[in-house]
Amino acid sequence: MVRRLVFVTQTIDADDPNLAQTIDLVAALARRTEEVVVLADRVRRHDLPANVAFSTFGARTRVGRVLRYERALLAAGRPDALLAHMSPTFLLAAAPLLKPMRVPLALWYTHWRAGRALRLADRLCDVALTVDRASYPLPSAKVRAIGHAVDLAAFPPRSEEPPGPFRVLALGKTEPWKGFAVLLDALERVDARLEIRGPQLHEGQVRHRAELETRVASSTALRDRVTIADAVPRARVPELIRSAHAVVSPGGVRAGGEALDKVTFEAAACAVPVVASHPSLQAVLALAPIRLSFSPGDAGDLAEVLAGLGAASPEQRTEAGRMLRRWVEEEHSLELWADRVLGALVR
C-alpha cells in the first residue's frame, strides 16, 4: 500500500496554460494517501489539501537544479513510491538514491519523443504509465496504459448544444505537427466557423501561429470564419468547449504521442462531439451515430466529416456527445486514473 508518495513535476500552478491539470492529479492522489510530497521547479497558485507538502528545486544552472533536487528528495525521507510526471530526467536523478532502498519508481509519459533520457528511464523504472499503448513511444514490457485523468466534476456534460451557425473549436499549442494547417485546408471546403485557441510557449509556436494568421488573412474563404486567439484560463476551458458544436483534434501529421491530446477527452466529458484521426480513438468514435473520424493528415476527408457533422440533426450530435461522455466516465476519469496509478505501484 502506498501511504507516502513523492510526485515530481515541473510546476504547480493553476495559471499555467500547459500544466495546470497537474494540480488535479496531485489532489486525486492525495485523497488516497496519507501524504504526497511534491518536488517541483516552482510552486505557485493552487488549492491542494493539507496532506500535500512541497519542496522546490529551481536554480539558475542545470547542476544547481540537480543538486537541489537530490537534497529535497533526501530530506523527504523514504517514500513508499515515486512518480515522475512527464520528465524522464526526474526519474533518472532519483534512481541512484531510491533504487538501493527498493522504492518503486514510476514514470507518467505521453509524448511522441523517445530520446536517450526516456530510454534510460524506461530501463530504470518499475512501471511506465501512459494514456494508451500508442502514446508511449518505446516498445517496452513495462508500459501500462491507464487512460487519461479527466475531472468529471470540472467538465460536466451539457444538456443541449448551443444555437447559431455550426461552429468548431480546436485547442492546443500552435505546433506545426498539430495539424492546424490541415484543419484550415478542410475548412475552406466546409460551411462552418472555426476558433483556434492555444498557448505559445516558445519561438517555434509563435512563428507557426503567425503563419496560420497569415494564411487566414489571405484567404477570402477563411478570413471571416476563422478566429485564432490565446489560450483561456483553465477554469474557462469547459465553458469554451460547451460553446462549440464540435471539437476537432486535427493532429496526425506526426503519428502517436500527443495526438491523444487531453482536450479530446475533456470535450468528450462535456458531451461535445469530437472529430479526431488518432488510431487509438477509432473504435470509440465508430460507435457514434454520425461519422467522427478521418484519415490522418487528409484535409479532404476531414472536410467530409465536418460537412456531415454540420448537416446532422441536433439530436444526432447530442447522442454522439452523450456516448462519448459515457466512455470517459468508464475509462478516463480522474478518480479511475489515480486508482490505477497507485495499483501499479504496489509490489
What is the SS3 assignment for 145?
strand
C-alpha cell read off for 235: 477554469
Q: How far is CA 214 from the centre of its chain?
A: 28
Predicted local distance difference test score (pLDDT) of residue 266: 97
C-alpha cell read off for 183: 484543419
Predicted local distance difference test score (pLDDT) of residue 253: 46
Same fold, 4-149+333-344 and 167-331: yes
Predicted local distance difference test score (pLDDT) of residue 252: 56
Taking the C-alpha atoms of residue 120 and residue 123, their distance in angstroms, rounded to an integer, is 5
Predicted local distance difference test score (pLDDT) of residue 256: 41
Q: What fold is seen in the domain 4-149+333-344?
A: Rossmann fold (3.40.50)
Mean per-residue pLDDT of the chain: 94
Each as own residue / partner, the long-range contacts of residues 280-284 (CB below 8 Å, 24 or more positions apart, any chain) are 280/132, 280/133, 280/134, 280/135, 284/324, 284/327
At 9, which amino acid appears?
A: T
At 50, which amino acid appears?
A: A
Instruction: Using 50 as the pLDDT threshold, list the residues of the chain that sit under it.
Output: 253, 255-258
What is the SS3 assignment for 201?
coil
Predicted local distance difference test score (pLDDT) of residue 261: 84
Domain boundaries along the sequence of the chain: 4-149+333-344, 167-331
**Is-contact 140 338, C-beta < 8 A?**
no
Maximum Cα interatomic distance, the chain, rounded to a whole number of Å: 65
Q: Which residue has the cell 509519459?
A: 109
Taking the C-alpha atoms of residue 51 and residue 326, their distance in angstroms, rounded to an integer, is 32
Q: What fold is seen in the domain 167-331?
A: Rossmann fold (3.40.50)
Taking the C-alpha atoms of residue 249 and residue 244, their distance in angstroms, rounded to an integer, is 13
Task: Give the ranges where the chain is alpha helix by DSSP (H).
Answer: 22-30, 62-75, 88-98, 116-124, 180-187, 203-217, 237-242, 262-269, 282-285, 299-311, 314-331, 334-344
Spell out the residues 6+ positions from residue 309 whose beta carbon is closer than 8 angstroms to its own. Answer: 166, 245, 246, 273, 275, 290, 291, 292, 317
- Residue whose C-alpha is closest to residue 301's, from 237, 242, 248, 241: 248
* Share of residues in the chain with pLDDT > 90 (%): 86
- Phi, psi at residue 326, to the nearest 5°? -60, -40
pLDDT tens for each residue of 58-72: 988 888 998 999 999
Predicted local distance difference test score (pLDDT) of residue 149: 97
Conformation bin of residue 159: beta by default, left when phi > 0, alpha when psi is -120 to 50: alpha
Structure pTM? 0.93
